[in-house]
């Protein structure tokens, strides 16, 4: 098992190198020379050239890439073109906010989707099943910035229960987490339902019922456990997506997360911040995927046996 | 059962489409005439009520902004968001009086000007300190202005300085290369804020953040907030509010809701469709004043077709400014016809106006030698309202036989194309906010500089790529003219000259809208969006 984990961590290196190259290439192809975002209108040609050297924009794409990788291997993500702050510091300022939002959003998603999916599966083709799927469809279809504004109007403005934006205190994360969580719950609900339906048809459950096991135990102890693999997969994918930043929710709620950091940096052609933040996010996503794979092993011993081969 | 459920769902969705839509007509009917509140001044600045000695004010005022502070170095930027911060932390030698635009003492308590207008001698108080308690001297001014020569944001403002002599700690002499009637106005700009030589030399990145102003930086989290605390050692007495926080809310609706819930005390730039909500809220007040952000269309004068003055005039006559204001600004803007901004010295009140007239546009096109259908121009836009304006312009031009292709792009891409030395563009919808000296605006927007080989190179913000030696000569003459009446006449003539060349099409300026809590005092709301918060205070 440990060999498997170490192998997965070592695979991170070529992934990061590839990600860095792709981002470099894209940002260089994008229109809008970064020098003009930083230099004033009075900049002379000499000042522009000096700025280019200072910003590391001199040389070919490959030369700049290798220069960047050299610094990356020393743990240096560079300095923001715009704020002149260390990119790692900027990212670490935002990361706790993103982790808070992502964790709570996933909790909201799981609390809504798993029971709803189980109810839908157990009561297949009844009004409960239809209602659950309609709710899932609404959650999937509703633009989350619209939901966010509605929640803000009701709970922040009308009722005054939560703040409308910002990241101060636990109350400030509730509305953004519900906004993001509802959207995530939709897909998780459908996955839970379909996975449970596959498992509920299995013979061993009929045997369990014949042996007199209670229906509650059949569903939650026997069926759900075996239905968890696809649910965990979708959970892992969604958690990774949310770690990359929920830009719309962050914008609506003025939530200072990683998503907005990256989008604002792209707008300003702040290449070091874009590259650094995406590399850090890639690392996080890889670690999350690794954790998901490890969880598989504990949920399903057959998978653990494969890892130890 | 399933059929009933599906039918019900379809009905709900359909009803949602029907009732959720609104109409422009409804929006127009609901539009309320909203007057500016507070005391309006001659320059268009609006002053909130005065801070009173017998009133208890809150410890902290929070301002919700739509644009992030990107630097606290006065020579590192000229955006409105950053300027508001510089006005809190730094001072300039002189200031521009918001009441009448006159130059008044700032850091310098007095000054004299030599007869030839080339030498300025400034006197400073002896009790000025920076916000870390260190003493200010005239050397800090020399250091700041010398440093400005290598700044791409400030170098143009000190270009005319020949020498700076530190006489003693409280006296400084500046000699100019030539007389410049706008020198003091340039020194009042936020980018000329005085920095500490010692602090900058000790820390070139953070040293410039400190000034002699009423506030010092407390904490800055880019993309989140920036807070300033009062400097209790300020020589003229401390500010009424201990702490000012600029909190970033990119989404306009969220910003307004935060004001309505009381989380912020000032909402900068709410959405125009939400202004009625501020007006209707008894706890809030709407500040509204015309701004000086001029939307205009530069025409790259070295591109085929645009190098012909009749083609440029045809495009000017085809610009339907009223329709653009209605469609792109919800009616909240004013037509502009001048080449400098409202309130600037020498604005020609009798300038010839290129009114929307397709018949005249066709006549000009006929004079150009081009036939309808011969010309296609690309116009660059970066925001939704500019796209709307471009669509209206495209429609008008199609009626006179000029084809307009709209190129939408991000702001960074637009800036890059406009600033790139290749000048590979034709038309654009852009804006400028200069309301400094008239010479500064005209020189930047239309002037050019002679190079060593005798050729002319366009100046920084000269998007129309105009290189006209006669124009430069007229500007130079006006700049040194000491008789104000003659100088005004000179600028009228310059505007007439520009009008004859038609290098740009001025379109409109809109409004500054600000939502504040009722009772907010001490702030000065500026038409250039660089609001003065130094004395801002909110009663408890």
CB A22 within 8 A of CB A68: no
ipTM of the complex, rounded to two decimals: 0.86
Nearest to B211 by CA among B73, B98, B111: B73
Does the beta carbon of A141 lie under 8 angstroms from any beta carbon of chain B?
no
Nearest to B423 by CA among B481, B373, B462: B462
> How high is the pLDDT of residue A293?
82
Alpha-carbon separation of residue B512 from A225, B40, B289, B290 (angstroms) = 60, 13, 5, 6
> Quick check: B234 pLDDT over 80?
yes
How many Cα atoms sit within 13 Å of A296 on the Cβ side? 21
> Quick check: B356 pLDDT over 90?
yes
CB spacing of B152 vs A130 below 8 angstroms: no
Any idea which residue has 């500019």 for tokens?
A: B386
Segment of A81-90, A238-247, B145-154, B355-364 carrying the highest mean pLDDT: B355-364
CB spacing of B9 vs A260 below 8 angstroms: no
| Partner residue facing B205 (CB), from A84, A163, A165 | A84
Chain A closest-CA separation from residue B76 CA (Å): 8
Sign of the dihedral through C-alpha A262, A267, A273, A276:
positive
Helix (H) or strand (E) holding B96: strand B94-96
Q: What's the DSSP call for residue B537? A: B
d(CA B512, CA B334): 12
CB spacing of A134 vs B421 below 8 angstroms: no
pLDDT in tens, B89-121: 999 999 998 878 889 999 999 999 999 999 999
Pairing of strands B225-230, B448-450: unpaired
DSSP per-residue string spanning B194-213: ---HHHHHH-TTTGGG--SS
d(CA A241, CA B344): 52
CB A255 within 8 A of CB A249: yes
Longest dimension (CA), chain A: 86
CB spacing of A164 vs B247 below 8 angstroms: no
The region, left, alpha or beta by phi > 0 then psi within -120 to 50, assigned to residue B113 is beta
Chain B closest-CA separation from residue A204 CA (Å): 32
CB spacing of B205 vs A90 below 8 angstroms: no
Phi/psi for B254 (5° steps) reads -65, -40
Chain A positions in Cβ-Cβ contact with residue B409 (cut-off 8 Å)? 31
d(CA B482, CA B32): 46
> How high is the pLDDT of residue B40?
54
Alpha-carbon separation of residue B436 from A183, B94, B131, B528 (angstroms) = 50, 13, 28, 10
CB spacing of B9 vs A134 below 8 angstroms: yes
d(CA A200, CA A42): 72
Gyration radius from chain B CA atoms: 25
- Between the two ends of chain B, the Cα-to-Cα distance in Å is 60
Chain A positions in Cβ-Cβ contact with residue B461 (cut-off 8 Å)? 41
3-state helix, strand, coil in chain B (%, to 5): 35, 25, 45
Nearest to B273 by CA among B325, B334, B324, B332: B332
pLDDT in single tens digits along all 309 residues of chain A: 778 778 878 888 888 888 888 888 888 788 778 888 888 776 777 888 888 888 888 888 888 888 888 988 888 999 999 888 999 999 999 999 999 999 999 999 999 999 999 999 989 899 999 999 999 899 889 998 899 999 999 999 999 999 998 888 899 999 999 999 999 998 899 999 999 998 888 888 888 888 888 888 888 887 888 888 888 888 988 998 898 878 899 999 999 999 999 999 998 889 899 999 999 998 888 888 888 888 877 777 776 666 666
> How high is the pLDDT of residue B37?
43
Chain B positions in Cβ-Cβ contact with residue A48 (cut-off 8 Å)? 152
Place B28 in a pLDDT band, splitting at 50, 70 and 90: very low
d(CA B170, CA B111): 12
CB A114 within 8 A of CB A122: no
> Quick check: B27 pLDDT over 50?
no
Rounded to the nearest angstrom, the gap between the alpha carbon of residue B512 and the centroid of all alpha carbons in its chain is 11
Rounded to the nearest angstrom, the gap between the alpha carbon of residue B290 and the centroid of all alpha carbons in its chain is 12
Nearest to B341 by CA among B292, B307, B387, B390: B292
A window 154-173, beta carbon within 8 A of B: 156-157, 160, 163-167
Q: What's the DSSP call for residue B54? A: T
Chain A positions in Cβ-Cβ contact with residue B258 (cut-off 8 Å)? 163-166, 254
Average predicted confidence (pLDDT) for chain B: 91
Q: Which tokens is B40 given?
A: 């309006």
For an interface test with B, the pick among A137, A157, A160, A166 (most B C-beta atoms closer than 10 Å) comes out as A166
Nearest CA in chain A to B150: A47
Does the beta carbon of A95 lie under 8 angstroms from any beta carbon of chain B?
no
CB B259 within 8 A of CB B267: yes
Query: Angle B76-B79-B80 (CA atoms, 0-180°, nearest 5)?
Result: 135
CB B206 within 8 A of CB B217: no
Does the beta carbon of A96 lie under 8 angstroms from any beta carbon of chain B?
no
Q: Chains A and B: how many Cβ contacts under 8 Å?
A: 135
> Quick check: B407 pLDDT over 50?
yes
Q: What's the DSSP call for residue B192? A: G
CB B245 within 8 A of CB B225: yes
Nearest to B472 by CA among B498, B492, B436: B498
Pairing of strands B375-381, B402-408: parallel
d(CA A116, CA A114): 5
Query: Angle B192-B487-B432 (CA atoms, 0-180°, nearest 5)?
Result: 45
Chain B positions in Cβ-Cβ contact with residue A163 (cut-off 8 Å)? 258, 261, 263
d(CA A185, CA A171): 21
pLDDT in tens, B47-92: 888 888 888 999 999 999 999 999 999 998 888 889 999 999 999 9
For an interface test with B, the pick among A27, A28, A36 (most B C-beta atoms closer than 10 Å) comes out as A36
Does the beta carbon of A16 lie under 8 angstroms from any beta carbon of chain B?
no
Chain A closest-CA separation from residue B52 CA (Å): 31
Chain A positions in Cβ-Cβ contact with residue B154 (cut-off 8 Å)? 40, 42
d(CA B146, CA A249): 46
Phi/psi for B100 (5° steps) reads -140, 5
Tell me the whole-structure pTM to 2 decimals. Answer: 0.88
Chain B closest-CA separation from residue A304 CA (Å): 44
> How high is the pLDDT of residue A304?
67
Does the beta carbon of A261 lie under 8 angstroms from any beta carbon of chain B?
yes
CB spacing of A32 vs B413 below 8 angstroms: yes
d(CA B253, CA A149): 8
Q: Which tokens is B314 given?
A: 């045809």
Burial class, A145, CB count within 10 angstroms (exposed 0-12 / middle 13-18 / buried 19+): middle
Q: Which tokens is A38 given?
A: 């930083």
Alpha-carbon separation of residue B536 from A299, B158, B223, B245, B289 (angstroms) = 60, 31, 23, 12, 18
For an interface test with A, the pick among B78, B263, B409 (most A C-beta atoms closer than 10 Å) comes out as B263
d(CA B129, CA B91): 11
> How high is the pLDDT of residue B30?
32
Nearest to B48 by CA among B59, B39, B60, B36: B39
- Average pLDDT (B399-408) is 97
Does the beta carbon of A54 lie under 8 angstroms from any beta carbon of chain B?
no
> How high is the pLDDT of residue B17?
55
CB spacing of A47 vs B260 below 8 angstroms: no
CB B445 within 8 A of CB A25: no
> How high is the pLDDT of residue B35?
39
Burial class, B430, CB count within 10 angstroms (exposed 0-12 / middle 13-18 / buried 19+): buried
CB spacing of A82 vs B70 below 8 angstroms: yes
> How high is the pLDDT of residue B386?
97
């Amino acid at each position: 098992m440990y060999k498997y984990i170490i192998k997965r961590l070592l695979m991170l290196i070529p992934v990061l190198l590839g990600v860095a190259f792709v981002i470099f290439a894209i940002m260089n192809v994008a229109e809008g020379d970064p020098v003009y975002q930083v230099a004033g209108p009075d900049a002379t040609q000499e000042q522009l050239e000096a700025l280019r050297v200072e910003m590391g924009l001199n040389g070919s794409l490959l030369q700049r890439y290798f220069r960047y990788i050299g610094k990356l291997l020393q743990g240096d993500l560079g300095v923001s073109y715009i704020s002149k702050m260390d990119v790692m510091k900027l990212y670490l300022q935002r990361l706790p906010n993103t982790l808070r939002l992502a964790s709570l959003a996933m909790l909201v998603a799981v609390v809504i989707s798993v029971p709803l999916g189980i109810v839908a599966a157990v009561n297949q083709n009844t009004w409960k099943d239809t209602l659950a799927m309609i709710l899932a469809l609404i959650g999937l279809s509703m633009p989350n910035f619209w939901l966010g504004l509605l929640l803000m109007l009701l709970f922040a403005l009308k009722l005054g229960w939560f703040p409308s934006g910002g990241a101060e205190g636990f109350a400030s994360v509730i509305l953004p987490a519900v906004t993001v969580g509802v959207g995530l719950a939709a897909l998780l609900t459908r996955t839970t339902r379909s996975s449970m339906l596959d498992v509920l048809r299995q013979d061993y459950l009929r045997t369990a019922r014949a042996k007199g096991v209670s229906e509650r135990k059949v569903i939650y102890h026997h069926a759900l456990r075996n239905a968890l693999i696809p649910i965990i997969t979708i959970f892992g994918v969604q958690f990774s997506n949310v770690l990359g930043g929920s830009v719309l929710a962050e914008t609506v709620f003025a939530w200072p997360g990683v998503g907005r950091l990256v989008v604002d940096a792209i707008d300003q052609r702040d290449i070091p911040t874009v590259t650094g933040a995406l590399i850090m996010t890639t690392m996080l996503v890889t670690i999350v995927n690794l954790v998901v794979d490890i969880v598989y092993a504990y949920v399903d011993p057959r998978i653990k046996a494969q890892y130890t081969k | 059962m399933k059929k009933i459920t599906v039918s019900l769902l379809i009905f709900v969705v359909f009803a949602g489409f029907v009732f959720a839509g609104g109409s422009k007509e409804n929006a127009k009917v609901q539009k309320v005439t909203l007057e500016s509140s507070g005391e309006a001044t001659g320059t268009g600045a609006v002053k909130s009520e005065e801070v009173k000695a017998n009133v208890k004010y809150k410890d902290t005022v929070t301002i919700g902004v739509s644009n992030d502070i990107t630097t606290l170095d006065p020579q590192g930027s000229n955006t409105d968001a950053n300027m508001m911060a510089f006005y809190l932390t730094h001072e300039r030698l002189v200031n521009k009086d918001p009441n009448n635009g006159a130059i008044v003492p700032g850091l310098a308590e007095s000054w004299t000007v030599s007869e030839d207008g080339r030498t300025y001698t400034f006197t400073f108080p002896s009790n000025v300190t920076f916000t870390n308690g260190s003493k200010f001297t005239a050397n800090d001014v020399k250091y700041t202005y010398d440093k400005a020569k290598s700044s791409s944001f400030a170098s143009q403002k000190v270009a005319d300085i020949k020498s700076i002599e530190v006489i003693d700690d409280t006296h400084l002499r500046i000699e100019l290369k030539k007389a410049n009637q706008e020198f003091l106005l340039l020194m009042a700009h936020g980018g000329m804020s005085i920095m500490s030589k010692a602090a900058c030399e000790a820390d070139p990145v953070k040293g410039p953040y400190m000034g002699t102003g009423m506030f010092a930086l407390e904490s800055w989290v880019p993309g989140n907030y920036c807070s300033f605390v009062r400097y209790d050692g300020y020589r003229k007495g401390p500010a009424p509010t201990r702490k000012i926080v600029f909190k970033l809310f990119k989404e306009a609706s969220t910003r307004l809701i935060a004001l309505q819930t009381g989380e912020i005390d000032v909402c900068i730039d709410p959405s125009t469709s939400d202004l009625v909500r501020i007006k209707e809220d008894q706890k809030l007040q709407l500040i509204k004043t015309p701004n000086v952000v001029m939307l205009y269309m530069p025409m790259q004068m070295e591109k085929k077709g645009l190098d012909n003055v009749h083609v440029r005039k045809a495009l000017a006559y085809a610009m339907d400014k009223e329709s653009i204001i209605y469609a792109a600004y919800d009616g909240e803007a004013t037509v502009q016809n001048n080449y400098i901004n409202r309130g600037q010295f020498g604005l020609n009140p009798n300038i010839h106006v290129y009114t929307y007239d397709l018949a005249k546009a066709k006549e000009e096109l006929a004079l150009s030698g081009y036939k309808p259908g011969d010309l296609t121009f690309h116009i660059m836009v970066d925001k939704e309202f500019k796209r709307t304006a471009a669509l209206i312009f495209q429609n008008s031009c199609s009626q006179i036989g000029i084809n307009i292709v709209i190129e939408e792009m991000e702001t960074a891409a637009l800036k890059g194309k406009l600033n790139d030395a290749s000048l590979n563009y034709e038309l654009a919808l852009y804006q400028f906010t200069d309301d400094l000296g008239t010479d500064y605006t005209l020189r930047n927007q239309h002037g050019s500089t002679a190079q060593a080989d005798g050729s002319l190179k366009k100046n920084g913000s000269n998007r129309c790529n105009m290189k006209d030696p006669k124009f430069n000569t007229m500007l130079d003459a006006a700049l040194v003219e000491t008789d104000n009446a003659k100088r005004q006449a000179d600028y009228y003539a310059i505007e007439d000259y520009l009008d004859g060349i038609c290098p740009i099409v001025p379109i409109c300026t809109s409004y500054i809208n600000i939502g504040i809590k009722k009772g907010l005092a001490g702030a000065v709301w500026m038409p250039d969006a660089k609001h003065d918060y130094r004395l801002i205070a909110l009663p408890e």
